[in-house]
Amino acid sequence: MLAWFAVLAAPGASPSAATGNAAPGAPVVVELFTSQGCESCPPADNLLSELATRPDVIALSLHVDYWDYIGWRDPYGSPMVTDRQRRYASALGLRYVFTPQVVVDGRDTLVGSRRDEVLAAIEKSAARLKAVAVRFVPGAGGRVVIPAGHAPDNGATVWLAIYDKSHETAVKRGENAGRTIRNVNVVRAFERIGTWTGERLEIPLDLAGAAARGRFGCAVIVQQGRNGPILGAAAMRLDRLP
């Protein structure tokens, strides 16, 4: 399924040569743009379920809202997610958005159901040193620490993604009518929490509040510009908070 639109400019999304406090073995961020209203998405949803079990991958299911009009309103669809996907399209030189789309570490874009290609992109990205090591500090709602290092000239955006473990939905209308779809690591909030300029950065978080609302996990992503290469990331299960 393809959706055409006018691509908006996404400043600060050019490739970075940042090195600094490099993070060997840092997880690879895999973002799947999907929709329960998309008939070609379930195979990609299944692949993401598999990737979510890997400790070297941060797998995020991001549900767009632009397929809601064709018969089924995705309960997890969000205009925020659609905006993020469109910004990726601009940053990666695409003329359109589509589902299922996978973006690996903010650098590579693929059809999310093409298993071999997705796995190869993850392997390639895993071999690349991240620019910075991101870590969580538990206690008092949690904090994230980003050490000093070499940041891009315009700084890097620090994102916080909050996600649910999984949802099973009986789809009653639209292209997937009659199917039960399982989505994992469903992103429910994705917000900018800071800017990293190369100096050590420590940001307090309200992870206890997210856990109390039934959320399963969170990820902090440091990204050049808004949708450029991902420079570092870390994830944590909220049920492991002290």
Q: Distance between CA atoms of 141 and 242, rounded to whole angstroms?
A: 9
- Give yes or no for a contact between 200 and 141, defined as CB atoms under 8 angstroms apart: no
The pLDDT score that the predictor gives to residue 163 is: 98
The pLDDT score that the predictor gives to residue 22 is: 62
CA proximity to 185, closest of 165, 204, 205, 167? 165
Q: Distance between CA atoms of 210 and 163, rounded to whole angstroms?
A: 9
The pLDDT score that the predictor gives to residue 15 is: 36
Class of domain 21-240 (CATH, top level): alpha beta
Examine the pLDDT at 170 and tell me if it is beyond 60: yes
Longest dimension (CA), the chain: 52
pTM, rounded to two decimals? 0.90
12-31 burial, b for 16+ CB within 10 Å, e for fewer? bbeebebebbbbeebbbbbb
Residue scoring higher pLDDT (50 or 19): 50
Q: Distance between CA atoms of 209 and 202, rounded to whole angstroms?
A: 19
Q: Note the pLDDT tens digit of each residue in 208-235.
A: 999 999 999 999 999 999 999 999 999 9
Confidence of residue 14 (pLDDT cuts 50, 70, 90): very low
216-235 burial, b for 16+ CB within 10 Å, e for fewer? bbbbbbbbbbbbbbbbbbbb
Q: Is 141 exposed, middle or buried (0-12, 13-18, 19+ CB in 10 A)?
A: middle
3-state helix, strand, coil in the chain (%, to 5): 20, 35, 45
Q: Note the pLDDT tens digit of each residue in 107-163.
A: 999 999 999 999 999 999 999 999 999 999 987 788 999 999 999 998 999 999 999
The pLDDT score that the predictor gives to residue 6 is: 35
The pLDDT score that the predictor gives to residue 41 is: 98
Domain ranges of the chain: 21-240
Q: Note the pLDDT tens digit of each residue in 52-106.
A: 999 999 999 999 999 999 999 999 999 999 999 999 999 999 999 999 999 999 9
For strands 2-4 and 96-98, give the pairing: antiparallel
Q: Residue 164 corresponds to which tokens in the numbers above? A: 């649910």
The pLDDT score that the predictor gives to residue 10 is: 34
